Amino acid sequence: MSITIDKRVSEILVCDGFINYVMNPTSLILKEWDNYFIENPDQIPIVNEAKQILLCEHDYHSLPPFEIKELEMRIFEKCGIKTFS
Amino acid sequence: MENNYSKTTTYTDSDVETTQLLVDFKEGNVAAFSKLYNLHINMLYNYGYKLTTDVELLKDCIQEVFIKIYNKRTELDLILNFKSYLLISLKNKLCDESRKRVHLSDVAVEELDIISSDNIEHDYIAAEKVKSNNMFVSKMLDQLSPRQRSAIELYYIEEKKYEDICTIMNMNYQSVRNLIHRGILKLRTCAV
């Protein structure tokens, strides 16, 4: 697995609860995380860093366009979808 | 499901559009499936790249995630948040594949740095154990006299030599040894 980012950030990144907190923050989820931050203030910068990664705010990696298309074609082929390309 | 791109709809890059795309996809619009893929591929790849630098593995896992979505398109209503669903599916797939590769290779599990919820649980338990041990030690040290406590902390925690402790505490060598010895005896008695 990745050796480029802090282990503590990586661990937060793979937490389902964290992903839902960033991508689908309901009032209940936000309250739970607020309580977590009150009890664990040292975790705030770690969670913020993981949040930036999840929202693609820094150190952004993407596939080249032709590879994106190639992967799409592979998926369509596996799904049995015919294309015009 | 129409197996072509004939249906063309103008979509914009937003969560609202994702919801509409999911509806269209469920109704058989392959163009909507294509658009869903193109809207989220960069987010998925960027996230996955933080978990593995094996690009081929990552692409394979992304492929599996979208194939699963295609095959389970009738159940799309059950997904509360599509982005969360994609990210969690990819993470689970990467963990599964990493475990499979460990199983098939000669590399010991301990040698691999696989990030999973198991690690988080293990670390949490370890941290709690350390916290519990620290509390126990602190409670035990409270049973000692201030001078006994200082001498024991200097010797066992700060790892000072007897000679240094003599200087710090302004005591002779034998007195320091006696102080630490009596402190240890008291700790043993308290611990029973």
| C-alpha to C-alpha distance for B190 and B142, rounded to whole angstroms | 11
Tokens standing for residue B100:
């499979």
Asked if the Cβ–Cβ distance from B63 to A74 is below 8 Å, we say yes
- Looking at the structure, tell me whether residues B21 and B76 fall in a common domain: yes
- Of B13-22, B57-66, B70-79, B112-121, least confident by mean pLDDT is B112-121
Instruction: Decide which of B85, B108, B131 is a domain's last residue.
Output: B108
Q: What is the pLDDT of residues B84-135, one digit of tens each?
A: 999 999 999 998 887 777 666 555 544 555 555 555 556 556 666 676 777 7
Asked if the Cβ–Cβ distance from B81 to A24 is below 8 Å, we say yes
Smallest Cβ distance to A62: which of B5, B45, B84?
A: B45
Residue A25: DSSP 8-state: -
- Looking at the structure, tell me whether residues B90 and B168 fall in a common domain: no
* Closest by CA position to B28, among listed A79, A74, A77: A79
- Looking at the structure, tell me whether residues B100 and B124 fall in a common domain: no
| C-alpha to C-alpha distance for A25 and A38, rounded to whole angstroms | 18
- Region of residue B182 (left: phi > 0; alpha: psi -120 to 50; beta: else): alpha
| A contact residues 23-82, partner B, Cβ 8 Å cutoff | 23-24, 53-54, 56, 60-63, 67-68, 71-72, 74-76, 78-82
- Looking at the structure, tell me whether residues B75 and B126 fall in a common domain: no
- Looking at the structure, tell me whether residues B77 and B145 fall in a common domain: no
> What are the structural domain ranges in chain A?
7-79
CA–CA distances in Å: residue A4 to residues A12, A14, A27, B8: 15, 15, 33, 41
- Looking at the structure, tell me whether residues B122 and B95 fall in a common domain: no
Asked if the Cβ–Cβ distance from A1 to B66 is below 8 Å, we say no
Range of the structural domain that residue B139 is part of = 117-191
CA of B119 vs chain A CAs: smallest distance (Å): 8
| pTM across the whole model | 0.61
Instruction: Decide which of B108, B142, B177 is a domain's last residue.
Output: B108
CATH number for the domain spanning B85: value is 1.10.1740
CA of A39 vs chain B CAs: smallest distance (Å): 14
Instruction: Decide which of B75, B108, B141 is a domain's last residue.
Output: B108
Q: pLDDT of chain A along its 85 residues, tens only?
A: 444 567 788 888 888 889 999 988 889 889 999 999 999 999 999 999 999 888 887 667 888 999 999 999 999 999 998 765 5
Task: Report if residue B139 sits inside a domain.
Answer: yes
| Interface predicted TM-score of the whole assembly (ipTM), two decimals | 0.83
